[in-house]
Amino acid sequence: MSRFNDEKFKQLQLKVKFNAIPKTRLKKFNQHFNGYKNGLVRSEPGKFVMTPLYGSHAEKLYRMKPRSTTWTSELLWLVMNNCDTEKAVATPLFARTPFIDVPFLNADTELSPESRQMLNSFDKMPSPRIFKTHLPFYLLHPELLDTSKVLYVARNPKDAIVSFYHHHKLIKAHDYKGDLEEFAQYFMDDEIVYSPFFPHLLDAWSKRNHPNLHFMFFEDMKKDLRGEIVKVAAFLNQTPSDEQLDKITEHLRFDNFEKNESVNNEIGKKLGWMNPDGKFIRKGKTGDWKNHFSPELNNRIDEWIEKNLAGSDLKFVTELEHQD
């Protein structure tokens, strides 16, 4: 990856414009999302919703040239680092697998010196680097799939809504104050960051046969965690021993994972970027949506899902009888 000011990549232009979403600047919206002081913006084309800060700096990540490496988080890091669970526990996840969207997830109008330093630090990381992002493919470097290994993780939309609702209430950069039903409507109306949900998924689904893309479902990890670890290791051309596989599986089991201070971000409450109530690593249960949706809301979400998946062979599992 070259530095963001590298002359070689200054000519690479992102042919996307971001425009303000008028509704997100209204009083009612700002009362629901205290963190979105300057509203949100939407890309044309693509209709991707993000903060104005990201919209004005989107080319910085688009120009970030990938090396021959992998993107995502804890599972990948363990597989690629000889199952070093001791180091994984001792070193924060964000330091091992940076979330490259973070500098843009606030209401600032300009990048802070700390954010600029963070962006430039990505270039200094030794290979193989592991990054995490929620951005769609068309906002990432066009050579990404031809250069790097990409693990794309999808989750069923019902549990995704519940998870993102709790995340928005927890993180002060969002600071959501409304109820779940109102949030679900914002989600379906593509009026929160990282929406729209289905175009993002369907684009990745259409690329699932690319040799450098491994498309996996969160629900498959809940159903057979060890089996999915084996598949990811094979995708990365790694051959962990049975003992290492057992070690990774135990490390990633949810009851252990939520207690791991290197990933649960409890320090965020002390640093002031998380609200005191709630957890960053919450339940991770497939089917938890049943504890949150009214019959009427569930029917509306079913209709929304059916409409957006019309003509697609993408299917979701929304309930599991047994899960890890």
- Report the alpha-carbon distance of residue 130 to residue 321 in Å, rounded: 33
Chain centroid to Cα 189, Å, comes to: 19
DSSP, res 290: G
The alpha-helical segments, DSSP class H, found in 15-128 are 27-32, 52-62, 74-80, 85-90, 93-96, 113-121
Give CA separation, 97 vs 66, 69, 71, 109, in Å. Answer: 14, 12, 8, 26
Is 136 within 8 Å of 48 (Cβ atoms)? Answer: yes
Q: Is the peptide bond before 128 cis (omega within 30 degrees of 0)?
A: yes
167 is known as an active-site residue: no
Instruction: Kindly report the number of other CB atoms within 10 A of residue 170's CB atom.
Output: 22
Angle, alpha carbons 241-69-167 (nearest 5°): 90
The residue annotated as part of the active site, out of 57, 134, 168, 210, is: 134
CA 14 to chain CA mean position, Å: 21
Residue that the structure tokens 């498309």 belong to: 215
Q: Give the residue numbers annotated as catalytic, written as ranges.
A: 134
